[in-house]
Amino acid sequence: MLSKNLLQRVVLAAFLLISQFAIAQNRTITGKVTDSKDGSPVVGASVVPKGTRTGTTTGSEGNFSISVGSNVSTLVITSVGFELKEFNITGINSLDVSLVATGTSLNEVVVTGYGTQRRREVTSAITTLSADQLNKGNISDVAQLLQGKSAGLSISRPGGDPNGGFTIRLRGLSTLGANTSPLIVLDGQVGADINTVDPNDIQSIDILKDGSAAAIYGTRGSAVRVVIALVTSLLL
């Protein structure tokens, strides 16, 4: 029967043997990740063995080094602004990677409150109404054109005075202490008076609802949650 001391040495030797075997099964893959457009290094790209959650990232020169198990045959390389790529590493220890830009990067996105934007670039809730979608009839106020046309937008005449103006409010904001009056943008001019516009001249109206809608207008959009942008026949 083995002594306790001998048994401990046997267990230790077995452990070391298993560890060395496991290390021998791993191999190191090195490489460099560059932009296919100009060959510049891609910094911070993620390099992960497929099927795992641990990996590495590229350095300031786009280089990387990663240890992978013998059962790993694919590396997944990703970076913001580039297409995901998978590379077969069977039988190789070095890899040069060229990533292709997706066509949408931060320097191609311009958000401005003084011009037009593509709809897909705007994150706020938008209702767009053309002239033929607006309310018809004996209308003397632009606000009347919008009644019942946008979910959550309340348009009413307080007090019932037929000569009084209309009040435009976004449902749910009365308890938040915010300025509930809409910000009016008329033909690109911010802060216009909606009462100076002839309803018959309106060609289209965009209604932007939530904080991000007004944020692009800076301090003039402070605490505003509704932006009503009108385009008149003067621009046509």
Please tell me the least confidently modeled range out of 18-32, 48-62, 157-171, 219-233: 18-32
Tell me, what CATH number does 165's domain have? 2.170.130.10
Q: Tens digits of per-residue pLDDT, 8-64?
A: 665 565 555 555 544 446 888 999 999 988 889 998 888 988 888 778 889 889 999
Number of structural domains in the chain: 2
- Can you give the pLDDT at residue 124? 56
Q: Tens digits of per-residue pLDDT, 82-109?
A: 888 898 988 888 889 999 887 554 444 4
pTM of the predicted structure, to 2 decimals: 0.46
Q: 78 and 118 share a domain?
A: no
Instruction: Give 48's contacts (C-beta < 8 A, 6+ positions apart).
Output: 54, 55, 75, 76, 77, 78
Q: 53 and 135 share a domain?
A: no
Q: 34 and 54 share a domain?
A: yes
User: Tell me, what DSSP letter sits at residue 18?
Assistant: H
- Can you give the pLDDT at residue 236? 44
Q: 78 and 115 share a domain?
A: no
Q: Which domain, by its residues, includes 118?
A: 110-235
Give domain status of residue 105, yes or no. no
Q: 43 and 133 share a domain?
A: no
- Can you give the pLDDT at residue 213? 62
- Can you give the pLDDT at residue 13? 58
What confidence category does residue 197 fall into, taking pLDDT thresholds of 50, 70 and 90? confident
